[in-house]
Structures are given as C-alpha cells and as structure tokens.
Structure 1
Amino acid sequence: MLTKKERKALGIGKDQGKAILRNARISSRKVKIVLDLIKNKPLEEAYAIVKFTPKAASEILYKLLKSAEANAVNNNGLNKDVLYVADAVASQGPTLKRMRPRAQGRGFRINKRTSNITVVLKEKK
C-alpha cells in the first residue's frame, strides 16, 4: 500500500474526482441499492437517477456526486461533460449500540448502523 506522499509523487488520483462520506447515518445495505443504479453511468444521467429515485440514500448521494464533480473539475481540471461514475462503494461504518427497554426489566439491543460511502468520477476516454 502506498502512502499519501508516494501517491502524490506518482501523480495517482489526478485523473479522477473523488468524494468520501464517513459515518453517514444510514445502513450500507440501503445505500448500495442506489449505488448499483448509478455505477458506470454518465454524470448527468447519474444525477437524474438519484434525483428521481425515492430512497433515503438519494439525497445523500446527490450531495456526494456534487462534491466529487467539484473535486474533479476544480482540483484536477477535468471536463465536466465527459465525466462518468467509475466507482461507487458503500462499506459498513461503526455501529451505534442502543438499548430498548422491554418487559420484566430486560433490555433489547438496537443497532443504529452507519456507512462509509465513496464515489469516484473519471473522464470517458
């Protein structure tokens, strides 16, 4: 695994726009449903899919796509018109563990799951 300094020296990551959201308060299972819809799609089509998909993760992913686009265009000088969603991953983040009172003095656990979401945009060759 290369360190950040080594990656920068090699110029890795200059041909893409990347945005990462950590500890989003939504289960990664729910996010993966929408991510599968936008993988390998042009950026404008991905925006349309996310905007009109009635899922909880859609609003989060719309903002993440905007951020990845801004990183690609402003930081790396890529052309907005030929960007596409090269990679989109949601992995499980830390789980918040809560207790729910139950009958006879017992307590049941509630797992409030979080996710780490990554979106990578690249130029279509």
Structure 2
Amino acid sequence: MEAKAVARQVRVSPIKVRRVLALIRGKKVGDALVALQFSPQKSAKLVGKVLQSAVANAEHNFGMDTDKLRVVAATADQGPKMKRFRPVSMGRAHPYYHRTSHVTVTVAER
C-alpha cells in the first residue's frame, strides 16, 4: 500500500527541485526529514511539506505505521511556465520564463 502527496505549480524550477529529491529518495521518512531540514536550498522546505503531507495521508487514510515508512518515489515534473519580459537598452525587451513544478512524493511501508 502506498500513500502519496502532490504539490502543484510550485514556484521553483523542476531542475532545482530534482536535486533535493535525490537526497531523500529511498530513505526512511525520519532520515529524509532531517536531511531536508539541514539542506540550504529553498526547495527543501517545499519538499519537506509535501513529505509530511504524504506521511499524514499514509497514517490517516491507510492506517500505516509512520516509523516503518520509506520514500519509494519522488518526482518533479514541469508545470506551466509564466512568460515575462525584462526591459533592455534602446526600448527593447527580452523574454524570460518563471518555471513551476509539480512535486510528487510517494511513501510506503517496507
């Protein structure tokens, strides 16, 4: 039995979130939360919230023991991009994108 949690349209690039997800994939939930707590990246706090939500879903919806939970899957997919423009010289503008992510964390008893 698996429980998952999803955070959609998180304002962090998927590439940056995937670096943090690599830290917790396959670990026990307690060890993963400690690793995220001391990680300096902005996305570590967001991933920690998703992980805590997945643990709460496992405990509340499926009655799993939180001490036996492991992170079995953690993915970051690309969300919608917001197109913005930066003014440059001579009255011109250059486009850039604010990228967003869909973060999914799955936990299961092992």
For the aligned pair, the TM-score class normalised by the smaller chain equals: over 0.9
Does the residue aligned with 2:5 lie in a helix, a strand or coil? Answer: strand
Q: State which of 38, 45, 70 in structure 1 corresponds to 2:31.
A: 45
AA partner of residue 86 (structure 1):
V
AA partner of residue 60 (structure 2):
N
Deviation of residue 16 (structure 1)? Answer: 1.3
Q: How does 1:15-26 map to 2 (within 5 A)?
A: 15-26=1-12
Deviation of residue 69 (structure 1)? Answer: 0.3
Q: Distance in 2 between matches of 1:72 and 1:97?
A: 37
Q: Distance in 1 between matches of 2:72 and 2:20?
A: 15
1:105 paired to 2:84: no
Does the residue aligned with 2:49 lie in a helix, a strand or coil? Answer: helix
Aligned-residue sequence identity (percent) comes to: 40
Q: Deviations over 1:74-106 (max 9, x none)?
A: 001111110000000001110000011111111
In the alignment, what sits opposite 1:70?
56
Structure 1 runs of 4+ aligned residues shifted over 3 Å read none
Q: Distance in 2 between matches of 1:63 and 1:116?
A: 13
1:86 paired to 2:80: no
1:120 paired to 2:110: no
Deviation of residue 66 (structure 1)? Answer: 0.7
Deviation of residue 17 (structure 1)? Answer: 1.4
Q: Deviations over 1:49-68 (max 9, x none)?
A: 00001111111011111100
Does the residue aligned with 2:6 lie in a helix, a strand or coil? Answer: strand
Unaligned runs of at least 5 residues, structure 1: 1-14
Deviation of residue 110 (structure 1)? Answer: 1.6
Deviation of residue 23 (structure 1)? Answer: 0.4
TM-score (norm. length: structure 2): 0.98
Q: Looking at CA atoms only, which structure, 1 or 2, has the larger radius of gyration?
A: 1
